[in-house]
Chain A
Amino acid sequence: DAGVIQSPRHEVTEMGQEVTLRCKPISGHNSLFWYRQTMMRGLELLIYFNNNVPIDDSGMPEDRFSAKMPNASFSTLKIQPSEPRDSAVYFCASRTTDEAFFGQGTRLTVV
């Protein structure tokens, strides 16, 4: 398996634009997590899915953020409209029961 695949690896966008981050979890994993990492706040859990169903989205910072998992092999995290304070590295991770496997992350810069 190629592991958790995230795209794009880097994204630079202007404030106000819509940003969509993509994640392909490892086949057979039934849980998927979206995290945001910044120097100030560390690694924050934004939302997690179990069997494609959002279980807890209390970590999503604002209504500008939304996440979907239409099927077991694909998830998106959308920010609309984006703001400079959204600049961070966004990680997707998947797991079955115990250890989580992380993607390489998407480095988002909003200017």
Chain B
Amino acid sequence: SQQGEEDPQALSIQEGENATMNCSYKTSINNLQWYRQNSGRGLVHLILIRSNEREKHSGRLRVTLDTSKKSSSLLITASRAADTASYFCATAGSYQLTFGKGTKLSVIP
């Protein structure tokens, strides 16, 4: 079964705008990770946030984690056309890495 659920399913924005994607999950986690998938390719790891962290930054990416609400958000600032892809959250337990269905982001030049 899917652990993480992303929202929205699809998002279309203009280049330069910020994009926010949300992820909700059901059980306790060790960490939560965000991945990106370009069409026809494998997933690529973007950023990881541990269960004892609340916020993390990496370049134009900002991730937050609220373990009390079992939710996370990914913010991409100053989006570029090259950011067009699907974005997935993944919850990590002792061994498992379980993905949601993803948010399809389209950045219009």
Which residues of A does B touch, CB under 8 Å? 4, 31, 33, 35, 42-43, 45, 48, 50, 55-56, 91, 93, 95, 98-105
Contacts and interface: CB of A to CB of B under 8 A. Distances in A.
A56 B95 CA distance: 9
User: Which of A4, A42, A43 has its CB near the most chain B CB atoms (within 10 A)?
Assistant: A43
Contact of B33 (A31, A42, A98): A98
B95 A100 contact: no
Contacts of B43: 43, 91, 93, 100, 102
Interface majority SS (helix, strand, loop, mixed), chain A: strand
Of residues B45, B48, B88, B97, which shows the largest number of chain A Cβ atoms within 10 Å of its Cβ?
B97
A45 B101 CA distance: 12
B98 interface: yes
Most buried by B among A31, A45, A48, A91: A45
Contact of A42 (B2, B92, B95, B96): B2
B44 interface: yes
Given A43-B101, A100-B45, A56 B88 contact: no
B100 A99 contact: no
Contacts of B44: 102
B48 A55 contact: no
Contacts of B42: 4, 91, 93, 102-105
B103 to A, nearest CB: 11
Contacts of A104: 41-42
Contacts of B100: 42
B88 A31 contact: no
Contacts of A42: 2, 99-102
Contacts of A55: 95
